[in-house]
């Protein structure tokens, strides 16, 4: 622990966790809002508070089991600090009452092996059941353990402005612990959570924060100079910027999204990137007339579909408690419609990539198989061969399936299809 533990710091964590457990907003937004309200907290203090509350969100079911009959924000935090962060009762004494000290000894003594698998693995019952249908019991254990770990901080080098070796050398010279990502030729992995928002390389657009798995989706699409390309669900544009750099800022790259606020976050990133070929377009839906006008005209289309996000639980642990079978079913209906509309943009000989950051077959294989059955003019291509031709050696098979326990990335799915 890099900060001096104190009652004030514990109180911040307790108040923030209470807000998180009550809020209907994503956890990262709630945390950001809290820190904006409490600017007296330094970088290390914010790091401690955020890491502590996120560890509770990750392990809420098993921590609740340790709390027995009285599950409160305070007890969840104490159980997390003692059982997950290794703090002893002497270190916690500044915030413990006498009764809490006795209870904490009992909480730490709970045997995890005695708990039901879904509780021990910190998964909702429905998700544990679904993963158990898809994977062996051992694989579910490994996946859950990996998803319950904090994610590293991955960067992508903007190839328009720098190369990876130059950026690595600069980061190391600045005292950061950095190494090349194992798969993405543009990826750099940092140790810890350094503040990068004011780093010169970030300010001049030489680097962007982007998970290595997300970077590999760009290499599946493999856009070329002069082509017409679309990022169909662009969001804040992380993959858009990668695609534009791969095109060397030549050709035309559409960034489509239904959310004006997400596209607004692309604008400052676009200004830093040096790209001039990106055209952000807010659309009403996948049936927007601006989409229909481009039917059959695009060389490549990426569909990073809105999904459950269950592959990003290392970063967004609250999602597993928010999603339900009903919400996933609703997303699947949306995914089918979006993929069909995006496929209509692809010209003969063009490429379509469907991707999610989900581990659920219902959002991945089932959607792609349904699309291929409806649109036989599209054929599946080998993701592994496409990456191998770009000298990216990774064992994934015909479709991209990234899992944190095997690849060190968020869990991603990607299918490459070409129009005959």
Per-residue pLDDT of 56-100, as tens digits, reads: 999 999 999 999 888 999 999 999 999 999 888 889 989 998 888
Average pLDDT over residues 103-120: 91
pLDDT for the residue numbered 2: 64
DSSP structural state of residue 183 = S
- Could you tell me if 51 and 27 are in contact, meaning their C-beta atoms sit under 8 angstroms apart? no
195 Cβ contact partners less than 8 Å away, ≥ 6 residues apart: 43
pLDDT(300) > 70:
yes
- Is residue 357 part of the annotated active site? The answer reads yes
Average pLDDT over residues 237-257: 97
pLDDT for the residue numbered 381: 97
DSSP helix/strand/coil, 197 = coil
Average pLDDT over residues 184-204: 93
The radius of gyration of the chain from alpha carbons, rounded to an integer in Å, stands at 23
- Could you tell me if 257 and 282 are in contact, meaning their C-beta atoms sit under 8 angstroms apart? yes
> Regarding beta strands 153-157 and 187-190, do their DSSP bridges make them parallel or antiparallel, or are they unpaired?
antiparallel
pLDDT(195) > 70:
yes
Q: How confident is the model at residue 3 (pLDDT cuts 50, 70, 90)?
A: confident
Instruction: Dump strand ranges (E) for 328-371.
Output: 346-356
Say what angle helices 7-22 and 27-37 make with each other, to 10 degrees.
140
pTM score over 0.85: yes
Average pLDDT over residues 190-201: 90
Is the Cα torsion angle 157, 32, 314, 324 positive or negative in sign?
Answer: negative
Average pLDDT over residues 150-179: 96
Average pLDDT over residues 8-32: 94
Q: Choose, from 181, 233, 307, 357, the residue flagged as catalytic.
A: 357
Q: What is the mean pLDDT of the chain?
A: 95
pLDDT(1) > 60:
no
- Could you tell me if 227 and 197 are in contact, meaning their C-beta atoms sit under 8 angstroms apart? no
pLDDT(181) > 70:
yes
Average pLDDT over residues 23-43: 93
pLDDT for the residue numbered 394: 95
DSSP helix/strand/coil, 384 = helix
Q: How confident is the model at residue 105 (pLDDT cuts 50, 70, 90)?
A: confident
- Could you tell me if 399 and 413 are in contact, meaning their C-beta atoms sit under 8 angstroms apart? yes
pLDDT(13) > 90:
yes
pLDDT for the residue numbered 98: 85
- Could you tell me if 187 and 154 are in contact, meaning their C-beta atoms sit under 8 angstroms apart? yes
Cα angle vertex 363, ends 347, 396, to 5°?
Answer: 75
100 Cβ contact partners less than 8 Å away, ≥ 6 residues apart: 75, 78
Give the DSSP H/E element, type plus range, for residue 29.
helix 27-37
């Amino acid at each position: 622990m890099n900060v001096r533990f104190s009652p004030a710091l514990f109180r911040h964590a307790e108040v923030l966790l209470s807000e998180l457990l009550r809020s209907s907003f994503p956890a990262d937004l709630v945390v950001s809002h809290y820190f904006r309200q409490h600017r007296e907290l330094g970088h290390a203090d914010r790091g401690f508070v955020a890491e502590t509350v996120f560890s509770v969100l990750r392990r809420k079911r098993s921590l609740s089991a340790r709390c027995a009959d009285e599950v409160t924000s305070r007890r969840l935090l104490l159980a997390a600090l003692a059982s997950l962060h290794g703090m002893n009762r002497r270190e916690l004494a500044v915030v413990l009452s006498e009764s809490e000290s006795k209870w904490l000894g009992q909480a730490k003594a709970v045997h995890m092996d005695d708990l039901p698998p879904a509780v021990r693995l910190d998964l909702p019952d429905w998700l544990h059941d679904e993963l158990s249908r898809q994977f062996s019991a051992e694989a579910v254990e490994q996946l859950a353990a990996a998803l319950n770990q904090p994610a590293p901080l991955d960067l992508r080098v903007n190839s328009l402005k720098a190369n990876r070796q130059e950026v690595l050398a600069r980061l190391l010279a600045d005292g950061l612990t950095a190494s090349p990502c194992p798969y993405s030729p543009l990826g750099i992995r940092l140790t810890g959570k350094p503040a990068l928002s004011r780093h010169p390389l970030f300010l001049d657009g030489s680097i962007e924060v982007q998970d290595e798995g997300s970077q590999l989706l760009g290499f599946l699409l493999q856009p070329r100079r002069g082509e017409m390309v679309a990022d169909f669900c662009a969001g804040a544009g992380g993959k858009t910027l990668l695609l534009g750099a791969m095109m060397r800022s030549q050709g035309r790259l559409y960034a489509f999204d239904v959310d004006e606020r997400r596209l607004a976050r692309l604008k400052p990133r676009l200004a830093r990137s040096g790209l001039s070929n990106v055209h952000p377009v807010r659309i009403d839906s996948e049936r927007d007339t601006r989409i229909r006008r481009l039917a059959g005209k695009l060389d490549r289309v990426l569909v990073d579909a809105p999904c459950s996000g269950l592959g990003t639980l290392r970063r967004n642990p609250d999602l597993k408690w928010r999603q339900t079978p009903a919400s996933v079913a609703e997303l699947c209906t949306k995914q089918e419609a979006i993929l069909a509309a995006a496929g209509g943009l692809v010209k003969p000989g063009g490429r379509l990539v469907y991707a999610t950051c989900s581990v659920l077959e219902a959002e991945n294989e089932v959607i792609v198989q349904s699309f291929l059955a409806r649109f036989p003019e599209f054929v599946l291509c080998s993701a592994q061969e496409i990456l191998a031709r770009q000298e990216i050696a990774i064992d994934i098979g015909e479709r991209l399936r990234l899992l944190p326990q095997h690849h060190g990335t968020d869990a991603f799915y990607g299918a490459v299809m070409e129009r005959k």
